[in-house]
Amino acid sequence: MKLARRTPARRRSPRRRTLAGLTALFLATGGLLGTAGPATGETSVPSPVVDSPNGRGNVVLNLFQWTWDAVADECTSTIGPAGFGHVQVSPPQEHIRGTEWWTSYQPVSYRIESKLGTRAEFQHMVDTCADAGVGIVVDAVINHTTGANVGSGTGVAGSPYGLDHFPGLYGAADFNDCRTNISDYRDRYQVQNCRLLSLQDLRTGSEHVRDTLAAYFDDLLGMGVSGFRIDASKHMPAADLEAIKARLSDPDVFWVHEVIGAAGEPIQPSEYLGSGDSHEFDYARELRDRFDGSIKDLRTIGDGKLPSGSAGVFVDNHDTERNGETMNYRWGAKYTLANTFMLSWPYGSPTVYSGYEWDDKDAGPPGATSTTVPAADCSAGWTCTQRWTEIVGMVGFHNAVEGTPVTSWWDDGAHHIAYGRGDVGYVTINNAGSAVTRTYQTSLPAGTYCDVVASTDCSQTYDVSAAGTFTATVPSYGALALLPGEPADPTDPTDPEEPVEPGDDVTTVYYSTDAGWDAHKIHYRVGTGAWTEVPGVDMDAACTGWVARQVDLGGASDLTAAFNDGAGTWDSNGGQDYALSGPHVAVAAGAVVPGNPCADSGSGDVQGGTSVAVEATTAWGQDVYLVGSIPALGSWAPSGGILLSAETYPVWRASLELPAGTSFSYKYVKIDGAGGVVWESGDDRRATVGDDGTLTLDDSWR
């Protein structure tokens, strides 16, 4: 089944995408480069405005209960660059009022007006995500309307409703005759004609109901939606769904059915393959069971399930994370490992789930009211799985190895597995409580390979010998995933992601955030050399009110620069570029001032919103530094990190000020008097400064 992006007529051109098909990622030996390729001769290559070094593939990101504006922003900043193919969004139709998440699943009308946004905001999201190379999959609720137990009321957009009464839409004849709740899931009639949890069950065999639902689908298709998840498909006869789909303006549009199959029940997912793919719930259940015990038999996870080309697979979704049927974010490292496996194993089309933290299973998103939901905040209760280093890396891995066979399977008979994907990639997963060091046999050609689980910038590499072997230590409950590539050249000004070691030939440029831009770019050239590509490279949060970028001068004495927001707004500076020089230089309101405006945020004595404590024993002469991915933490350069105080040894401490909402990766290092550096082991740590500007890091050396 093809998942094709549909676009409004006013857009430049249609962009089509297959979900289960191949999107090739070609790898250059000089680096990890992604170029999308067609799966077949009839499938065109997307041409998004936002580039992705991870290529383009069929991975779906399920952004549960995200507002349309927040999805649009995330498509540009994260989802598109990460190489996701599509985003599944929550139901967009008008629904009942209430703070609970499930209110979105009780339709009042098919107006595209919900607590997640307006019709105009939905259209903006579809267009913005298309520009980022990302299609929209809508969660479509067509089995039922509101709960009979709710009675009458007014929807979030003002439409009235009642029992058997939806003015201008449905009347009593449009609902099935059974008016009781389902009590026996072994009875096909009950499951497909009676009420699911009191929800008024639509008569999907009716011509009027079928025409009404088809019009809803066509409205969304006209807005450029790429496909649909069909909620509660199990509760509608498969023939009814086929008849509804046949009425659509595009009867070949992608559908994936929610059919929760269970042993002993008469209704199974395979019945619904005539109108689309189906989610394979047994896959997620098996992941839960394996990662809760032995993972050695994961190689047979596709056996006895739906055909791979028709199966939608996932680690969890909004229902199963709450009912215990699958893993969820609370499983911690094992949850990450399960996603790593799913994105690296050739069965089904994968969906990565991203929701929010909860204690009450009915609770809506943080800050939800009866008619609105605030924008997702990754520092305040939203899981934001799509931003995790491991997930971003594994989406790229999935895109790179698509279509390659499994090779060189190995397991230890219990908790440690390893396997290759053709001659392109290799994965090893350790589901045990202790690290493992061993030599792995692969089918990879000799060369240098990036561990895309450890970082997104190829800062962790492994050398594979001519015999196809490499030796590595895999952390407890950790993984490695290798793709061809080498670390970026830190002296190349067109490659902005590799940190530069501070020195005489480095200028750190600081730029004021007073303009209130959502992002900051520096477009520059060193000396008389070439300019970076427009709009330039990212500037990262440095301290409150400032962003920064380190630039290697490569022997030159200065650089020329211009600044912009990455979306077409530039600091014109009266029509002049900025001339910058020196080890530190700050730009604000058209003025260039030598020095570091964040200097007061860099020592262990600073009083600020971020408190750091790490328990670490050291040898005589060693100090402990906090080093990370942002300039305020040295951009991964140990000598540019934050020196911690040993006053409460063996706990080393510091405090510093970082802008609210700043997300970063970090580690601790030990540096001796001779400049020797020892990095702690394990994956990069992650943290996000709260909206109030506070953050507490309380760690132990690894």
Catalytic residue IDs: 231, 258
The Cα–Cα gap between 614 and 650 comes to 8
Q: Which residues of 684-699 are buried (b: 16+ CB within 10 A; e: fewer)?
A: bbebbbbeebebebeb
Residue 399: HSE in the Cβ half-sphere, 13 Å Cα cutoff: 34
Smallest Cα–Cα separation from 546: which of 579, 520, 578?
A: 520
Q: Which tokens is 186 given?
A: 């072994």
Our CA angle for 335, 626, 656, nearest 5°, is: 105
3-state secondary structure of 336: helix
CA distance 642 to 633: 6
* Cβ–Cβ < 8 Å for 296, 417: yes
Query: Among candidates 145, 237, 254, which has minimal Cα distance to 191?
Result: 237
Show the CA angle centred on residue 395, arms to residues 392 and 396, nearest 5°: 90
Nearest Cα to 66, choosing from 387, 298, 464?
Answer: 387
- 249 vs 221: CA distance, rounded Å: 8
d(CA 357, CA 63): 13
Inter-residue contact 519 to 567 (CB < 8 Å): yes
Cα 482 from Cα 484, distance rounded (Å): 7
Beta strand pairing status for 425-430 and 677-679?
unpaired
In Å, the largest CA–CA distance within the chain is 84
Whether the CB-CB separation of 586 and 541 falls below 8 Å is answered with no
Candidates 406, 400, 404; CA nearest to 418 is 406
HSE toward the beta carbon, residue 47, CA cutoff 13 A: 5
